[in-house]
Structure 1
């Protein structure tokens, strides 16, 4: 496999699209670094991940819980995920805290990370704007607590470390 591009699945659970945009950005960074990526909603991902060398699984945080599609994929594909390196990310804080300090995973995500023997987890800031649907989301935006708190420099750096790790594990010839 030394000259083959490492294959990475990036699956996400997203309600309003912010987590999807983070997953797409991670995919772009990994592609640029020489990985062949598939970015898809967690609800559509296969449970047999034998076609992939690694996986990144992300979920938006809602009321302190990971998006249900990300949780379901982690459970459904557990055997397959445990056979390859997997990284987890959460998105959600509607303030700059995720760019200022490391935020530990919420309890449910920590359990998933332990069960999958994940390589790591990171929490990125979230985004919630006036286009958000749902009564609670609209109330948050109207109260002035909405906005875009994603740090794409931080996301890029994290994705580059994954690309280097995957390349080292698979013997891929292209570096970051």
Structure 2
């Protein structure tokens, strides 16, 4: 592995690749076996429901008229470029933060691909309790959530590590 990759956060890009491939494979499976709005009950609180999301998270700006497709694509591409730059800059000893960012990157690219190719994001994971339903989402969204959760964990772990280091007397 080239030194640039092995000594930076770029060494975790395989996570982004797995997220992207898994996301696209599951979307392909859903679109190849279901019609739009078809729903298959898997568990009493979980369905596979094929929907198109023209907006962002929770269908934000779903009915905005089409401009949001390119707006969200541009944001995701810019964020992805920033993540790649940051991964290249991150030191080898950092682990959790680059892993978090590679989850986010893989998810962002999965949804960008959908927006560019289809004009919408394919969602299908549908959780509900009684008459309350969570907006449908996909593997890319799940990876973004995992990455964000890992960022929060890293924030607390690093704060504790910095605090422990500053509490110890110099020379110990």
* Higher helix fraction (1 or 2): 2
- Structure with more strand by fraction: 1
Query: Could you tell me the TM-score, scaled by structure 1's length?
Result: 0.25
TM-score, normalisation: structure 2: 0.26
- Structure of higher CA gyration radius: 2
